[in-house]
Amino acid sequence: MIPAAFKYQGRFPSAALVVPSGFAHYGKDLERQQWFSTSGLTDENRMARIAAILPRIEQLVRREQTNHLVPRERTVLIGYSQGGTVALEAVKAFPELAGAVVAYSARFARLPQAPTRMDSRIHLIHGEYDSVVSRVYAERAQRALTGLHVPVTLDIIQDLGHALTHEAICRGSLRLLQGIYERRRATLH
């Protein structure tokens, strides 16, 4: 996520960026972090694993909002793969946590359904040939969010697999910027 952080810092120079590590180690590798264990991960247990860490995610985000004096509507959660999934589930569980999410190669553990309330803009960026998290999950998420009247964008990057490239990062930061200007335009009289 460091290349993404640099890109976002360039596009939003006054932003306070926080790039936290995951809460769990990759097996016995103490150098690498993940948000939740992928050992034995299935569609049946994915939501339970994410739900178990969501209170810690909320606490982390709210602490940083307080530390940097950033209100909810100006908070953006950005994540790649597992981090994007956690960001999506966090704003689903805590509707007033953030103003936007940019999720790269991510998916909901469980698609939101009515009467779920989500107050965040959602920007999904996915590789056309992602074999780890199929783009089908992003397409389903877009349809579900549109049905709930949640502002959502979906960009499928051609010839991209499960990777975070310069093009994908640029697209995500552009969508975020467009959402900010769209919201401002709506408040001008």
The residues assigned a catalytic role are 81, 130, 162
Instruction: Give 109's contacts (C-beta < 8 A, 6+ positions apart).
Output: 46, 47, 50, 85, 89
Residue reference for tokens 């467009």: 178
Q: Is the bond into 3 cis (omega within 30 degrees of 0)?
A: no
Element (H, E) at 1: none
Q: Taking a C-beta distance cutoff of 8 angstroms, is the pair 95, 71 a contact? A: no
Q: Could you tell me how many helices (H) and strands (E) the chain has, helices first?
A: 5, 6
φ, ψ dihedrals at 151, nearest 5°: -65, 120
Half-sphere exposure for 165 (CA within 13 Å, toward CB): 15
- The vertex-31 CA angle with 10 and 40, nearest 5°, equals 105
Written as one letter, the residue type at 135 is R
